[in-house]
Structure 1
Amino acid sequence: MKPVEQLVQRWQQMIHYFGSGQRTLMLAAYAMISTALVEFILFHRQLPPERFYVVIVLLSVLLSLNAVWERLQQRWGNAIADRVFFSTSSIIFLAANYIGLDAGWTFLPFLLFVIASQAIVGLGVWRGLGVSLLLYLGWCGVLWLRGVPLIQIVVQAPSIALGLIFVLIFSIVAARLVEQTARAERLAAELQSVNVALAAAREREVELAAAEERVRLAREIHDGLGHHLTALNVQLQAAARLLNRDPERAAQALAICREEAQAALNEVRQSVAVMRNAPVNGRPLPEVIAKLVADFKRVSPLHVQFVVEGEIGELPLTVAMALYRAVQEGLTNAQKHGQGTTVTVRLIGEVGQVRLEVVNDGPPAPPVAETGFGLAGLRERAARLGGTLHAEPLPAGGFRLAMVVPHVQTEEKPYDPHSVGR
């Protein structure tokens, strides 16, 4: 690492370390206490040695106490460490002022500002104000105990009081700023964790949609293409057995094989036409269904019309996917089993829910038997979303597939076939 990069990294680490209000005040406390210590050593040597050196020891202890304050909080907890710190600092401040009081000017009273600021940030505004007031009154008491004339106390005390008021106001603002910064950082961390959870949920949702699509494709292959391929295999075996014994019947079997192969090819083309659209992903559902219907009409002789009624709005991905798959299933079943000429797809926006209907005009049909995978999968989708699916023949002829799901996605429920309307 280059020296400039090392310097920048150290500077960033220092800024991060002193980013909290307590650490910033510690830095200011080091400067103030060090200044008081140097000033006392340089300008108060006339004091008796027993007073001079005691004050130096007290200021050194106060400086050391600030250095270990954070470690005490980590070891004892904030409540106990703060109680020990402020009680000890207050005693040292009053003792140093009592012992070091001289006829000349001294920097010792200004240490009150440091302790008051630390009390505001460390103990809170009201408790900090209480500690500051007690220290100020204690300092005035020290002057009185040391025999300072009352008139001199009255003259000197207001200047310290004004300075203390300014420091307290500044400290309160700084404490509020620290609280706001900590709250903003906490909210940012919570927001980041929520975003991570949402991204993970979105990824799981997409994976679930892909898995369900694979299951649907397997069902389609099993129900449609598998049937034709099974029949084709049976006829090929029959043709192979009859080829030498009965060429005419073998030719008939081969003709059936060609028909089954063509039917299988048509099945594949129809399935691809219905399913080649990508799953719903950020596009309006009416637009996606309109494209699906248009693609289906190009490969199917059926006349298909798509109607949108009401306000659809933006739908959750799982809701839109369920409705999209219902359209696919309805079109595929109309092509395979409907025996009609017209299919109508309706997407209806209702209060709190969306309704989808796929209706064909085929001849009257018996009640649907859900032995295939398609309708069973749709019913499971609807049940998990808190909706319903109905697939039933119409009294006047034709068949209707209707799915109703809530407009806003609810917590997915486990599928219970006995609780879903038939």
Structure 2
Amino acid sequence: MDRPRRPVPWAVAVVYGAVLAGGGYWSLIGEAGERPAHLAGFVAVLALLFGVEAVHWRRYPVTMPPGPAAALLAARFALFVAAALLDGSGTSRALFVLVPFVAYFAFGRAVSVALAGICLALIAVAFTVSTPDWYRDAEYVSDLLMFSIGLVLAVCMAAVAIAERDARARLERTLDRVAELSAATERNRVARDIHDSLGHHLTAIAIQLEKASTFSDRDPALAAQALRDARASAKDALTEVRRSVHTLRDGTPPFSLPNALTDLARSADGGEPAVTVTVIGEPNSYEPASLAALYRAAQEGVTNARRHAQAATVTVSAAFDEAGARLTVADDGRGFPAAQAGSAAEGFGLLGMRERVQLLGGQISIDSLPGAGTVITVTIPRTTAASVVRRPA
């Protein structure tokens, strides 16, 4: 897996700048005979270090293979040693804390901690070579302790930066997943709306047109009425599309379930099945999403009675009380085996109906037997429906 760009890229440049300032200042105020050579060499080494960083970011802006990472780390270390030899102030020893810091991003924690230990040991060896009894000098001991603290802080800073980077990457993946799920949910909702609204009206249009074609010669008046009913259904479909577009753009408009059910029954006037509607209770106190789910269930039941059940009558009854809402759609059609209810034999309409109701915490049951008609019962708890609808999207 590719590693993202190294976090806190400014940290290395800040250390280089601080060391350059400290070492340059000492070279200017140090022994007169050493100033020119030491200062020129020291500045040249720091310039090379900045060049190494420029190569790093230009050549490997996002990820770096282990081989080049090890080569650049070795080049940095060699230049750190050169800077330390040219810097009599000792400021350049701070460069070595960058060894475990940089290694952490390229090779992980274990290598970083190991290199931190090696750097600490090398500083101790350098002290021993230059001053054998350095451990008796408080200044040397203090410098070694401060260097140890710097190494610890460098490793910790790298670990925190890595953790933050990984957390941000996980958050981005989570947000992408949420976006995908939201898009899938919206696609399913749009699919249900298209099926439940346009599917219903197109079924009515198809039935009326077939009726007009059948009776065009035998009963011209009935055929003409069928054509008028087909045109009315087409207008209703167009109104439904405009209402859906308005909902998508401006939010959910006011919805009256009794009026919608009355229109549903009126669309069947003069044809089969004959639809009767009964509403008991006060639906206006319910959430719009609950009322819409009940209407879509009634619409699907009536459409299936027209398209498949060969029913003569359909009864739609809705009851509302403090506990919840209950919708029943019963037809006297040919029915189907009970084993098909809730199985893969159900069409997309019944599947969409179940999804709508379940999203609101409700339940749906379908009772049917061959030759005995079909009864669809939908119940939606009032409190559950309200809490689901008001939950942030």
Pairwise TM-score range, normalised by the shorter structure = 0.5 to 0.7
Cα deviation, 1:331-390, whole Å, max 9, x if unaligned, reads 7689x952x5x7244799xxxxx9975224x6xx7x469xxxxxxxx9531576698977
Distance 1:293 1:223 in 2: 20
**Identity rate, percent:** 12
Change (3 A) 1:152 1:46: farther
1:22-421 aligned at under 5 Å gives the runs 22-39=8-25, 41-42=27-28, 43=30, 46-47=33-34, 57-71=44-58, 73=60, 77-97=64-84, 99-100=85-86, 102=88, 105-120=89-104, 123-147=107-131, 149-151=133-135, 155-162=139-146, 164-166=148-150, 168-169=152-153, 172-173=156-157, 175-177=159-161, 179-188=163-172, 190-192=174-176, 194-195=178-179, 198-199=182-183, 202-203=186-187, 206=190, 209-210=193-194, 213-232=197-216, 234=217, 256-262=219-225, 264-265=227-228, 290-296=258-264, 303-305=276-278, 323-329=297-303, 337-338=311-312, 343-345=315-317, 357-360=328-331, 367=334, 379-381=346-348, 399-402=373-376
Q: Which has the larger radius of gyration?
A: 1
Paired AA for residue 182 in structure 2: L
Cα deviation, 1:214-242, whole Å, max 9, x if unaligned, reads 4543432232243135423x25xxxxxxx
Change (3 A) 1:347 1:95: farther
Paired AA for residue 162 in structure 1: M
Consecutive unaligned residues in structure 1, runs of 5 or more: 1-18, 236-255, 349-353, 370-377, 405-422
The CA RMSD measured in Å over matched residues stands at 5.2
Change (3 A) 1:224 1:75: closer
Distance 1:188 1:320 in 2: 38
Structure 1 residue 44: deviation in Å? 5.3
Q: Partner of 2:33: helix, strand, or coil? A: coil
Q: Partner of 1:21: helix, strand, or coil? A: coil
Paired AA for residue 122 in structure 2: G
The match for 1:420 is: none
Structure 1 residue 191: deviation in Å? 1.0
* Contact 2:200 2:299 (8 Å CA) reproduced: no
Distance 2:32 2:233 in 1: 104
* Contact 2:208 2:226 (8 Å CA) reproduced: no
Structure 1 residue 131: deviation in Å? 1.9
Structure 1 residue 28: deviation in Å? 1.0
Change (3 A) 1:175 1:320: farther
* Contact 1:274 1:332 (8 Å CA) reproduced: no
Change (3 A) 1:101 1:380: closer
Distance 1:386 1:231 in 2: 35
Paired AA for residue 329 in structure 1: T
Change (3 A) 1:402 1:223: same
Structure 1 residue 20: deviation in Å? 5.5
* Contact 2:265 2:276 (8 Å CA) reproduced: yes
Paired AA for residue 149 in structure 2: I
The match for 1:239 is: none
* Contact 1:322 1:381 (8 Å CA) reproduced: no
Q: Partner of 2:330: helix, strand, or coil? A: strand
The match for 1:409 is: none
